[in-house]
Amino acid sequence: MEFCDDCGSMMKADDGIWECGNCGFTKPKGDASEYTVTDDQEVSEVIESSGETSLPETNALCPECGNDRALWYMQQIRSADESETRFFICTECEHKWREDDN
């Protein structure tokens, strides 16, 4: 996919050239190899994870093990006019539960 240098619209491929349907700007199609990801490039893009989480921690009683610390996050799972749902993950047993606003 290519975008027009002049107006930013999406361009169409036509007989070896890119042509903008909005403003008529054209440019030659490049070699397909310039868009190909090599094995070396793909390997260099892998990001190693330390396994640590960046979720905040709070006081919350786990219903499974009784631990009083949990990681938490909020997520919109209902319609946009409803409040977000809070999810908790126990720091001890990793039990996950949710809390809705009533």
Q: What is the CATH number of the domain that holds 66?
A: 2.20.25.10
User: Does the global pTM surpass 0.75?
Assistant: no
Q: Which residues are annotated as a binding site?
A: 4, 7, 20, 23, 62, 65, 90, 93
Question: H-helix or E-strand containing 70?
Answer: strand 69-75
Owning domain of residue 23: 1-40
Q: Is residue 50 part of a domain?
A: no
Residue 76 lies in a domain: yes
Instruction: Report the chain's terminal Cα–Cα distance, integer Å.
Output: 47
> Looking at the domain assignment, is residue 45 inside a domain?
no
Structure tokens at 102: 């009533």
Q: Is 86 domain-assigned?
A: yes
Q: Which helix (H) or strand (E) holds 7?
A: none
Are 76 and 43 a contacting pair, CB within 8 Å?
Answer: no
Residue 47 lies in a domain: no
Please tell me the predicted confidence (pLDDT) of residue 49: 58
57 three-state secondary structure: strand
Residue 78 lies in a domain: yes
pLDDT, average across residues 69-88: 87
Binding positions for Zn(2+) are 4, 7, 20, 23, 62, 65, 90, 93
How many domains does the chain contain in total? 2
Q: Report residue 65's pLDDT band, with 50, 70 and 90 as the boundaries.
A: very high
Give me the half-sphere count of Cα atoms (radius 13 Å) on the Cβ side of residue 23.
11
